[in-house]
Amino acid sequence: MLAFLARRLLTLALTAWLATLLIFALLQLVPGDPALLMLGTAARPDTLAALRAQMGLDEPLPLRYLGWLGGLLRGDLGTSVTYARPVAGLVAERMAVTLPLAALALLLSTALAVPLGLLAAARHRRAGDWAVAGFGRLGISVPSFWVGILLILLFSVKLGWFRAGGFPGWGAGAGPALMALLLPAAALAIPEAAILARVTRSALLDALREDYARTARAKGLSGAAVLLRHVLPNALAPVVTVLGLQAAFLVGGAVVVENVFTLPGLGRLLYQAVGQRDLIVVQGIVVILVILVVLANAAVDIAYAALDPRPKVA
């Protein structure tokens, strides 16, 4: 287990480092002068020179990369041109929206998927199973941002239960803030739950064929008791793995859904920064989000190895 952990942490560091290299390389594709691109042709020469100095554009490429990487390790992501503020501070503020949104989406999708998976496995090849399969097929076919628009249409426009977007801030109290995150989280969770329900169902069906499940049945336990007490805990490992693999999709989805609901999170900030061509903000947010995905994947691998001692190769 220790050797596995060491190897996994090593590949984690390698992947994170390669990701910074790739992001840095992509930003070098800017045609012409990045400072001019960001400030526009109307910018004053001294402002341009100051930005060039801040971005290290006068330095050779490897030095510029090392300077950026060093800053990243110290938690310094540079200063935004549009906001005239350190990017790290902006990112930290917006995280207070994006992280709770992702957590709520994860919670909702699990809360929806596990009971649906249980229902499908308990009613294998009967109506309940077909209904869950239908939800699964439809759920993976709809884009989360359209689900978001439909939720707004139903709950804000028709029923008037929720506001159509925006965020009151955590200062207004946890209740209103969570209410504002509920519809966006549901938009992310529904397609997610479709995938999870499918995986839960097949993991449960696999586990039901094991000897211990048959023994429990033979002891005289009811089908539901076997499913809940014996099979479900054993079927959770593959579900957790898929949950981790979905981290990248969740991050990508959150970026779009935040814009559907005009939530002031990282995705909204990134979208605005792309429009303003604030490359320093774009670079900072992308690197943070990509490292988050890398960390999530590693955490899932390690959790999986801890749950199940058999697969030990990284």
Partner 1 sequence: MRRRMPKSLLVGAAITLAVVAAALLSWAWTPYPAEQVRIIARLRPPGPQHWLGTDHFGRDTLSMILVGARNSLAVAASAVLLGAAAGVPLGLAAAAWGRWGDELVARLGDLLFAFPAVLTAMLLTAVLGPGGTNAVLALAVFNAAVLARVTRGAAQQAWRREFVRAALALGRGPLSATLAHVLPNIAGTVIVQATILFAVAILNEAALSYLGLGIQPPSPSWGRMLGDAQTFLFTAPLQAVFPGAAIALTVLGLNLLGDGLRDWLDPRER
Residue 220 DSSP one-character state: T
Under DSSP, is residue 86 helix (H, G, I), strand (E, B) or coil? strand
The least distance separating partner 1 from the CB of residue 309, rounded to whole angstroms, comes to 22
Give DSSP secondary structure letters for 128-184.
Answer: HHHHHHHHHHHHTTS-HHHHHHHHIIIIIIIS--S-SS----GGG-HHHHHHHHHHH
Assigned token pair, 293:
């995905």
The least distance separating partner 1 from the CB of residue 241, rounded to whole angstroms, comes to 13
Q: Which is nearer to partner 1, 30 or 96 (CB)?
A: 30
Share of the chain residues as helix, strand and coil, in percent rounded to the nearest 5: 80, 0, 20
Q: Which is nearer to partner 1, 27 or 225 (CB)?
A: 27
The least distance separating partner 1 from the CB of residue 88, rounded to whole angstroms, comes to 19
Q: What single-letter amino acid sits at 201?
A: R
Q: Which is nearer to partner 1, 133 or 225 (CB)?
A: 133
Beta-carbon neighbour count of residue 236 at 10 Å?
17
The least distance separating partner 1 from the CB of residue 292, rounded to whole angstroms, comes to 9
Query: Which stretches of the chain bind partner 1, using CB under 8 A?
Result: 11, 14-15, 18-19, 22-23, 26-27, 29-31, 137-138, 140-146, 149-150, 152-153, 157, 164, 248-249, 251-253, 255-256, 259-260, 270-271, 273-274, 277, 279, 282-283, 286, 289-290, 293-294, 297
Measured CA to CA, the distance from residue 260 to residue 284 in angstroms comes to: 22
Under DSSP, is residue 57 helix (H, G, I), strand (E, B) or coil? coil
Assigned token pair, 79:
């200063």
The least distance separating partner 1 from the CB of residue 10, rounded to whole angstroms, comes to 11
The least distance separating partner 1 from the CB of residue 144, rounded to whole angstroms, comes to 8
Q: Which is nearer to partner 1, 226 or 296 (CB)?
A: 296
Q: Which 3-state string (H, E, C) describes 279-302?
A: HHHHHHHHHHHHHHHHHHHHHHHH
Q: Which is nearer to partner 1, 195 or 216 (CB)?
A: 195
Q: Which is nearer to partner 1, 113 or 257 (CB)?
A: 257
The least distance separating partner 1 from the CB of residue 84, rounded to whole angstroms, comes to 19
Q: Which is nearer to partner 1, 30 or 237 (CB)?
A: 30
